[in-house]
Structure 1
């Protein structure tokens, strides 16, 4: 059981908490992959509170390693006529592992409509080579994805700018919830600061803000993720990201604060 749908379906309700054992196939070192923690947090809200409308924005604070038995505690903070705000805390035996807030908003009539997001002209996925410089199976959660470099540098190419655009898709994503898929895929790449790393070293996402584009757009299969480290000092990197569908339409914009242990 390692596909995204199977993992989400295994989240069981016990007295208002949603539980599962952290799946080993989605590990990231000593913790569950952050994108899976985010997807499970979202899914616990969907299971507990039903349809609150389209997800517009989510904020995550990754507090401690998510390992062992995970307990998700969803809560409705406010529901208005068109918008709703909910939270989900992820707990382990050692304490809180992640805290998240989700803002939902149903469509409203509006006179304002524009999108000035610049296009990202890159080759299609079938013309791109693998992102990682290895023929060996990728360990942990990385093995759940395929990655192809569309533009920018690879890891440890220290003469390149710390940025890249990578086609990314789940190996087993058939039938998965599209929002949970986008949360999982959107966090799959390493921090862009690692392009400038002279050697392998740990990193850890501390906070992640993920904002959905207001126009409803379909997405499946390959997602194009652009990522850049805007600044890195004192052991932290500020990272900006954007996610597109296969048609080149923007789906989400994100920012991360990443701890760098180098």
Structure 2
């Protein structure tokens, strides 16, 4: 029985990568276009089919173009501070005219980013987006596009506390395998406050604080978007005067 259980667990880990990366959301829809006859997008659905080992292929000639848009249409959406992760590979040495760019409702938004071979973090677009596009033009060759994903931002509510007390922030969508870190503006608060549990506890506070909470994958250190959280610090209630007259 123990051997059978171990085999099933290994199969699940192999066949269900999301088990190991529970906060990842992979693109599940695609759109594409290319110069007819001279260019192509082959096997486009492979970039969104849930098999992260296969790929679509974009092929172009110098006078043509090809692009594929990978879109997140599920319940969980990226926020503007959520980094985009894309895996795409090529043997091309000249990549001028090849770019990665976020999209919203399939419309290009934000800034076009330089394509980098392999799996890469392209950073936060800082605009509303629900997809990402790989675009090729002016080159002769092909690029294999495997997938795009983002890491779901923590769900944390703002709270109020009395002065001199710590704030205990509850991570409502907590997942094992992630470390949750607290930032004030862009500065990480003391690493001793980091947590791998459901709650993140600050030091004792005497003034209102505006924080951000970020989830990091333990195995890759890939970050989620930055969830804003306000801790409002209020005066302690006055002690009633109970002296006898």
TM-score by length of 2: 0.30
**Higher alpha-carbon Rg:** 2
Higher-helix-fraction structure: 1
